[in-house]
Structure 1
């Protein structure tokens, strides 16, 4: 079960953090001394250092020993790191920033281990939020509940019947609604399944309360949009959560005009405390508006960029919306759903490429991945733009014969390590023993020379990158399950995992020359943590606590000092 996103992880024995008192926000040329520093160089080799120097603009001047950095900035302010471990700021290559912020205002269902527990949580939230026009929530997972079916509207009606309820599944590719929400959306037994979506129905053909993939839009379109103040609250909450876990840059996988406006406003006023590489959601009206001046490669000192487009090929494995080449092993009546026919998907990709944008397409199933690889094989030669580093987001279940095509076409696999450890409870049931060999296949991709960009897909998963590092190395969830790791032959080394959350995530956004490592000329984005990441046992990686987060030479997060 995925941990709740906004509950702090259990702390190890509290440590005395004199560090928090001696590391003020830098205002001038600054040298951090006596650090236990690790970074990669441009070639991806792990380097050690004890001192980091950056100027008053937040650019790194020198990395090395105290003597080397002092010689470069003789008048700098010196700050003693007291031996704490210092790393480059970590990068999440696939998340959803506003959705992360939205979760705080709804029902948290990640920790609901039974259907009854989820229903009770919804009922309690409804009672304590009587003014909410809609009851919203996120994180349910029928696989954890061992139901063998989806939940129903009737089960929600029993606790909330007077107001609409809309609850997103843990993967974000299905919603569970009550009867009131179905009525408000005009969904009844005569409503056809939309293209690329499915309305779950009972034996009599009546909508049962779960809408999969494109069918979600039937109800989403009647949900009131956030007010400007609500949107700012979402962004504020998300930025605070990201800094707390050491993320100094994220790739926001699908935004609209209103979100772009807010990002630029925050960047203009120095309030964007995590760098954002944004992708325009789809190639419809928002793309037409946002692409008028072409890709925005850098804004406000590399704090913001809008140079990519996010598209969807298929749904998710847990809701059986992922498109497979052969039927699901645990439900032979379906092969999942492609969102668009090949020609329509290729037209969307063509429109984005013609305008000069990097194209990043969500593909979970082997049929979804093949559809997109086939489209790239047609379009990349047409535009001769392999240098745009087009991506497949998730690349989750790929036919073994298709994996080499990523390298041949120059496609970046953008993958999320915790998806494997969260999906282990159902993935092999869905696709069987043979197809699972091409699923979550990080080692296979790395061995052929692909550069994996790692992320979390928050809020589907926790945004904590140390949980991702732990999953990448151990192939285990936070509880250490399964013993020995799930298909451990596909695990990464710690250095490889560190690289995919730093240098290669930056590479996937064309930002490897400004962030991703601690090297002269790059931004001073770094974190201090409570343990030596490269010396602790692997089972401790996910328990790492961030003490401080710095972006562009300014401290944006400091962990509260706790008593011994």
Structure 2
């Protein structure tokens, strides 16, 4: 039984400004687009858009869906602007917790404080008897109280693991763990049960749908017990409901285990590239740089793996005919992995995926353009911590921060995501950031304004780009015959609305395979 969607502006995203009057949908696919007059005789029902505006379904190309669900479950401290306020909020929760509970706070950003100073281990220990973990907004640094450190067997004598840092001052633990070191705790917390994972996943999907998202590319398989646990949760929550489309990257530590499971993919749950973290983040000064940090001249960050290790991982992916997706923040990290990609390219027609690609120069941009790689960008990264990154990198290097236009101008495939729970997974906020390069409410020309892109290019990141980066541009990302009937319907036209109103546009409804999975004011 075919349904005709009409009664509002419908952007196809096939080219700038292209619209159609109506879309005919049957069995989850777009059968045809065209005029109401030509298509209505073929429809058994009409879905009226009530004057709202339809786009191809928005997809977040890089986030951690279960991790975002955890943020919804735990204490969100992302808006706290002082150490005192942070300690007070934690004290309120710790005072109600039993000695065996785990209290988890997510989203700490000390750069928002008047003095960017983290709490001391003594201050954390004074809050109560429960286990306490505070995840920094970048998720490459945590604070843990002494009880949580002891749970993982971390003492003053424990050496930092490969690819991580157990922070110490004068040989004494500070409670700060960076990159691989934080997994000594967070991957083994006893409350990570199947029920916990399923609850976090269900909360995340429900929230993502309210932002107009029809799907997301996620990386969750190495943080929640054996990979079979999160996979089973995805089967039960996502695949069973058929209301959200997930493309899963596979962390290199579990890649072969997952590959040997010989798992079947579906439109709602796909298994994609091997994921490798090449370096850390600017926040903890662990992003790997070619030259030292401007505000820490004895530190140039760190590569999590040697070139030899990276070569082994990439070769393993190739043995299974798979591509590789890499977390790269610093310029040294990008240069290092591009060397490996050049030596061991993927199969013809495939391309590897560079995630974040946060610091480039002309040489790196040229190298990216010559290799079979696509780039997975998070436009919101240019907002919150730009000033802190400027102090870490200096004015000259900071000109290469968070490129967008430079990548598109060189013909690279670029997709857009949020890296939630690091950023809010609202694609409209990402589109605004890509177009303005500034925080909501600011009025300057933008951070590195030469990297601003058009509204069409920004929407392209979350539609066509998100499909291209997983090799599905022939069936997702546009409104055209033969494509999936995935739609994001907004109450206003993001191509014509005043730019400052763009991130505040309301979602009318979210449609997956022709089925309305979230409805605000879009009435049939």
Instruction: Calculate the TM-score normalised by the size of structure 2.
Output: 0.95
State the partner residue of 2:432. 470
Alignment of structure 1 residues 370-389 onto 2, 5 Å = 370-380=335-345, 385-389=347-351
Q: For 1:469 and 1:138, locate their aligned partners in 2 and report how far apart those are by CA, in whole Å.
A: 24
State the partner residue of 1:362. 327
Query: Cα distance, 1:213 vs. partner?
Result: 0.5
State the partner residue of 2:492. 531
CA contact (8 A) 1:359 1:391 kept: yes
Query: Cα distance, 1:254 vs. partner?
Result: 4.0
Query: Cα distance, 1:190 vs. partner?
Result: 1.1
Q: Deviations over 1:137-174 (max 9, x none)?
A: 100011111434433222222222x1110111001100
Query: Cα distance, 1:560 vs. partner?
Result: 6.3
Query: Cα distance, 1:289 vs. partner?
Result: 2.4
Give 4+ residue runs of structure 1 displaced > 6 Å after superposition.
none
Query: Cα distance, 1:267 vs. partner?
Result: 4.8
Q: For residue 219 of structure 1, give the secondary structure of its aligned residue in structure 2.
A: helix
Q: For 2:269 and 2:500, locate their aligned partners in 1 and report how far apart those are by CA, in whole Å.
A: 35
State the partner residue of 1:18. none
Query: Cα distance, 1:130 vs. partner?
Result: 4.2
1:166 aligns with 2:133: yes
1:140 aligns with 2:100: no
Deviates more, 1:495-504 or 1:536-545: 536-545
Aligned CA distance change for structure 1 residues 541 and 132 (closer, same or farther; 3 Å) = farther
Q: For 1:291 and 1:439, locate their aligned partners in 2 and report how far apart those are by CA, in whole Å.
A: 35
State the partner residue of 2:78. 110
Unaligned ranges ≥5, structure 1: 1-27
Alignment of structure 1 residues 163-312 onto 2, 5 Å = 163-202=130-169, 204-255=170-221, 256-269=227-240, 271-282=241-252, 284=253, 286-292=254-260, 298-299=265-266, 302-312=267-277
CA RMSD of aligned residues (A): 1.9
1:58 aligns with 2:17: no
Q: For 1:112 and 1:132, locate their aligned partners in 2 and report how far apart those are by CA, in whole Å.
A: 26
One of 416, 419, 424 as aligned partner of 1:457: 419
Query: Cα distance, 1:474 vs. partner?
Result: 0.5
Aligned CA distance change for structure 1 residues 86 and 315 (closer, same or farther; 3 Å) = same
1:409 aligns with 2:371: yes
Q: Deviations over 1:86-123 (max 9, x none)?
A: 11110111000000111122111111111111111111
Aligned CA distance change for structure 1 residues 132 and 527 (closer, same or farther; 3 Å) = farther
1:340 aligns with 2:302: no
State the partner residue of 1:391. 353
Query: Cα distance, 1:293 vs. partner?
Result: 6.1
Q: How many correspondences in the alignment? A: 518
1:486 aligns with 2:444: no
Q: For residue 155 of structure 1, give the secondary structure of its aligned residue in structure 2.
A: helix
Aligned CA distance change for structure 1 residues 65 and 131 (closer, same or farther; 3 Å) = farther
Q: For 1:251 and 1:118, locate their aligned partners in 2 and report how far apart those are by CA, in whole Å.
A: 32
CA contact (8 A) 2:120 2:175 kept: yes
Aligned CA distance change for structure 1 residues 340 and 417 (closer, same or farther; 3 Å) = same
CA contact (8 A) 2:145 2:175 kept: yes
State the partner residue of 1:17. none
Query: Cα distance, 1:362 vs. partner?
Result: 0.3
State the partner residue of 1:520. 481
One of 441, 444, 454 as aligned partner of 2:403: 441
CA contact (8 A) 1:476 1:483 kept: yes
CA contact (8 A) 2:219 2:248 kept: yes
1:30 aligns with 2:3: yes
1:329 aligns with 2:329: no
Aligned CA distance change for structure 1 residues 291 and 91 (closer, same or farther; 3 Å) = same
Q: For 2:134 and 2:280, locate their aligned partners in 1 and report how far apart those are by CA, in whole Å.
A: 17
CA contact (8 A) 2:83 2:117 kept: no
Query: Cα distance, 1:81 vs. partner?
Result: 1.5
Q: For 1:451 and 1:137, locate their aligned partners in 2 and report how far apart those are by CA, in whole Å.
A: 36
Q: For 1:142 and 1:404, locate their aligned partners in 2 and report how far apart those are by CA, in whole Å.
A: 35
Query: Cα distance, 1:261 vs. partner?
Result: 2.2
Q: For residue 229 of structure 1, give the secondary structure of its aligned residue in structure 2.
A: helix
Q: For residue 444 of structure 1, give the secondary structure of its aligned residue in structure 2.
A: helix
State the partner residue of 1:5. none
State the partner residue of 2:315. 350
